[in-house]
Amino acid sequence: MVMLDVLSNALIMIKNAEARGHKEVVIWPSSKLVGNVLRVMQRYGYVGEIEFIEDGRGGKFKVQLLGKINDTSTIKPRYNVKASKLMEWEEKYLPARNVGLLILSTSRGVLSHLEARQLNVGGALIAYVY
């Protein structure tokens, strides 16, 4: 099995497990970026407990699902966005105002679009969830 985009695979695994009504999903392979995106999703209540399992081969994430995700995916290509232009991208990727999150990789780490706007930092759009 060839895996080119670890983050994309992780979000697809979450979306498929949610669609089937599973209570948890094990995501592998893992990466720091996947862990950071999962923590942003956890802060906003889209996923529950996240456990990192070290298996000697890069590790796995065990993620508790809460049944609150309708859709999640990576954004490709990864657009660089200024803080002042975040509203335009919200309209493009999210279904309605104040519904869902854009996830950005910024100089201050992986943040939601709400946190990025509050800190007035831009970054690269990497994913969305609602």
Question: DSSP readout, 24-86?
Answer: EEEE-S--HHHHHHHHHHHHTTSEEEEEEE--SSS-EEEEEE-S--S-EEE-SS--EE-GGGH
Q: Can you give the pLDDT at residue 3? A: 66
Residue 28 has pLDDT above 60, yes or no: yes
Q: Give percent above pLDDT 90 in the chain.
A: 94
For the chain, give every residue range classified as CATH 3.30.1370.30: 6-65
The three-state secondary structure class of 103 is strand
Phi/psi class of residue 69: alpha, beta or left (left: φ > 0; alpha: ψ in -120 to 50)?
Answer: beta
What is the rounded distance in angstroms from the CA atom of residue 86 to the CA atom of residue 89? Answer: 5
Whether 2 shows a pLDDT value over 70: the answer reads no
Residue ranges, CATH 3.30.1490.10, the chain = 72-129
Average pLDDT, the chain: 96
Six-digit token string for 99 = 């519904």
Q: Which CATH architecture has domain 72-129?
A: 2-Layer Sandwich (3.30)
Report the CATH fold assignment for 6-65: Ribosomal Protein S8; Chain: A, domain 1 (3.30.1370)
